[in-house]
Amino acid sequence: MSRFTLIFIALLGLLLPQLSLADSFTIKDIRVDGLKRISAGTVFNYLPVEIGDQIDSSETPEIIRSLYKSGFFKDVRLEREADVLVVIVTERSAIGQINIEGNKDLESEQLLQALKDIGLATGRVYNPSILDRIQQELRRQYFSLGKYAVQIKSTVTPLERNRVAIDIKIVEGKAARIKQINIVGNNAFDEGDLLSEFQLGTTNWISFFTKNDQYSRQKLAGDLEKIRSYYLNRGYINFKIDSTQVSITPDKQDIYITINLHEGEIFTVSDVKLAGDLKLDKEELFPLVKVRRNTPFSRKQATESSEAINDLLGDNGYAFANVNSIPEIDEENKTVDVTFFVDPGKRTYVRRVNMEGNTRTRDEVLRRELRQMESGWFSTKQLNRSRDRLRRLGYFDEVNVETPAVAGSTDQVDIEIKVKEKPAGSLLAGVGFSQSQGLLLNASVNQNNFLGTGKTISFAVNTSEVNTLYQFGYTNPYYTINGVSRGFNILYRTTNTDTTSISNYRTNVARAGMNFGIPINEFDRFGLNFDFERTELVTSSDSPQYIKDFIKDQGDDTYLDFRMSANWSQDSRNRSIFPTRGAVQRLSVETTVPGSDQTYYRLSYLHQRYFNLIRQWTLGLRGDIAYGDGYGDTKILPPYKNYFAGGVKSLRGFKDNSLGPLDENGDAKGGNMRLIGRAELVMPSPVDKFKDSVRIASFLDFGNVFDEDESFSVEEIRYSAGVGATWLSPFGALTVSAALPLNDKADDEIQNFQFSFGQSL
């Protein structure tokens, strides 16, 4: 068919509707023909005319264009029957299904959502022009992963009932790798120092996890901002990035990045001032300013200073304070005067604290954790502390706090606390494995918010080749209005050491006790425990002589003891699992009271501290020392109360509980003194998806246990170094370590690779 014929047909198609409405008339009615899925009301919404309008052929093109713009129709015609306007349409096909094949790096749900954002989804009207947008959007998704060689082919298949199926076939190809990153113009700092700030990089041994060698425009923009901050925090106020070139090889496998920058000169701080309505004494505010005279100007220090002053004002009731750092630059002398301008606004008071979402938990359970009081000054510090205390209860999946202003007031706010409750109780059953205890089976029933009162009731059963435990507990965290807790605990445990490195004997322990917890301040707590304990020692022909001698000296193998213990604890960690800063320490004293079958005491002190280093690296230090002895008629610490060392939880690289003095069978008998130390360098998770559930660390462990018959000696301290990882899986904690003992001796039991699964941390 010739081009002239096609043009003639197209013109004829445009003229025919106009010819059908050649004469002007008043619309008495409108009828729509050809509809299948789309309602007539939808057509009427797009029509620019309505009943009663005067219409002639000049308005026909506008009517047709309006209906075409809706995107619902592939053909529109207008006809006239007497005074009735007849609209004849042919609907576009609907998308019946979308099939994606060949995608591995991106999930189908993610790709379907991306297509939906550009208007392509099941049930929507199919427009052929959208196929090009499909190709572009999917390529954009894969380009973000560095897959520049991706091939995408889409086909459309007609279905019944005026529908179509869209089939998308993807050949992802290999991701392009960053071959080289060049920085041009850096004179003050080495290229290696600058590249260490980058998230992107060339291929290394952890690229398989981090994907740092896969180019991303967003990641590069973030890295450029890091370079900018690096210079601005070191006095280079006029620093700028002149250009960035990203090139890819013809085979789309290698990427080269070149960054051209201009450093400028260093500007030093000549003066620091506070201005505005300070509200607080300068003596309180100036210590918060990190910017110092005669030092290079740092944007980071200026920002942190503004935030610190703002936080202090917020703690004193100025909820809407605004603190800005204003630098005055002297280009000639290369100096900066920094002025912190304070606009405190009005002092703000809290009118009401409202709770929402606690359908089961009583209001008082939440309110007793609050540190921000109604009718008091608004305090950012107290509000954040209140939120943290609510989160640490463990009753809620979410805790959100909002502070809307009170309508008609300029100095009042309400606090809206919205929570999403967890199930009040849990019934758990699990299985695990430990190299020291073998197969672990456990079951527990736990109500940590019994009837919405905040009280805890629990029952647990745990069994393994070594231990069998039955336990019942009850705790009221607010036995008194001041936060004194009271709890009861009943326990029965049997221990069989046949398959362990410990001396061969069995213990059967039954215990019942009461405990109290007394808050001293926000971080410190004092505890008291009173226990009645019955211990039975069961020996066999393989039991060591020192156990048999102990039973002979005591004249019995069953002992009734009344124990009393006191402890002090302090916890300032930012979170209880995988902390990155803060510390926890615990000092405890345990003793049996006179009249018990065994009179002894045990002292212990634990200190753990965490330091947040650069780029989310964390240094963790731990020290644990314990000592026990007998008094009165009991000359030594009872052997079933001895301390042990070795294993994942104390000294890695050595078999569980294998260190210290040995009996005649070569098994560890423990000691009355234990010294354990640990230093860990924790790296950020290489995969963002697992940053809250996986921890990888290199470590140095040291320690040992000592018996009263052996004096403490530094030479007996064992050392080990290695790497370890912990994964908080949905089925329990999985802990693995690979350690190398540094000064092991002939009698030591070495275990370089250790793991446990299903045990708590």
Structure confidence at residue 385 (pLDDT): 84
Structure confidence at residue 19 (pLDDT): 39
C-alpha distances (whole Å) from 466 to each of 312, 437, 493, 505 are 55, 5, 10, 11
In this structure, what token pair is assigned to residue 206? 């952890």
Quote the distance between the C-alpha of residue 323 and its chain's center.
Answer: 30
Structure confidence at residue 424 (pLDDT): 53
C-alpha distances (whole Å) from 106 to each of 141, 144, 155, 206 are 8, 11, 20, 21
Per-residue model confidence as pLDDT tens digits over 288-302: 999 999 999 999 999
Structure confidence at residue 391 (pLDDT): 80
Quote the distance between the C-alpha of residue 122 and its chain's center.
Answer: 34
Exposure of 130 in the CB half-sphere (CA atoms within 13 A): 16
Let me know the angle formed at the C-alpha of 659 by 566 and 655, rounded to the nearest 5 degrees: 110
Q: What phi and psi values does residue 345 have, to the nearest 5 degrees?
A: 70, -170
Structure confidence at residue 261 (pLDDT): 93
How many helices (H) and strands (E) the chain has is answered by 13, 33
With the C-alpha atoms ordered 304, 309, 314, 318, is the resulting torsion angle positive or negative? negative
Q: What is the mean pLDDT of each run of 10 residues along the chain (761 residues)?
A: 44 44 77 83 86 84 84 84 87 84 81 78 77 80 80 85 85 84 92 88 75 81 92 93 91 89 93 89 89 92 92 87 91 92 90 87 85 86 85 80 86 89 54 45 63 82 76 89 91 81 87 93 90 90 87 88 94 79 92 91 95 83 94 88 88 87 86 93 76 85 86 85 84 80 88 69 40
The closest alpha carbon to 96, from 157, 16, 27, belongs to: 157
Exposure of 235 in the CB half-sphere (CA atoms within 13 A): 19
Structure confidence at residue 436 (pLDDT): 45
Q: What is the C-alpha radius of gyration for the chain, rounded to an integer number of angstroms?
A: 37
What mean pLDDT is reported for the chain?
A: 84
Cβ neighbours, 10 Å, residue 79? 15
The closest alpha carbon to 714, from 723, 704, 722, belongs to: 704
Quote the distance between the C-alpha of residue 512 and its chain's center.
Answer: 38
Amino acid in the structure at residue 742: L
Element (H, E) at 363: helix 363-367
The SS3 assignment for 138 reads helix
Question: To which residue do tokens 């264009």 refer?
Answer: 65
Rounded CA separation 564/79 (Å)? 99
Rounded CA separation 197/235 (Å)? 18
Structure confidence at residue 444 (pLDDT): 54
Structure confidence at residue 518 (pLDDT): 93
Structure confidence at residue 694 (pLDDT): 85
Structure confidence at residue 704 (pLDDT): 93
The closest alpha carbon to 496, from 545, 531, 532, 463, belongs to: 463
Amino acid in the structure at residue 314: G
Are 37 and 91 in contact by the 8 Å Cβ rule? The answer is yes
With the C-alpha atoms ordered 751, 753, 755, 761, is the resulting torsion angle positive or negative? positive
Per-residue model confidence as pLDDT tens digits over 366-399: 888 888 888 888 888 888 888 888 887 777 878 8
Domains of the chain: 14-91 (3.10.20.310), 94-171 (3.10.20.310), 177-262 (3.10.20.310), 268-343 (3.10.20.310), 349-421 (3.10.20.310), 425-759 (2.40.160.50)
Question: To which residue do tokens 């210590």 refer?
Answer: 287
Beta-strand pair 163-171/151-159: antiparallel
Quote the distance between the C-alpha of residue 670 and its chain's center.
Answer: 39
Rounded CA separation 539/4 (Å)? 109
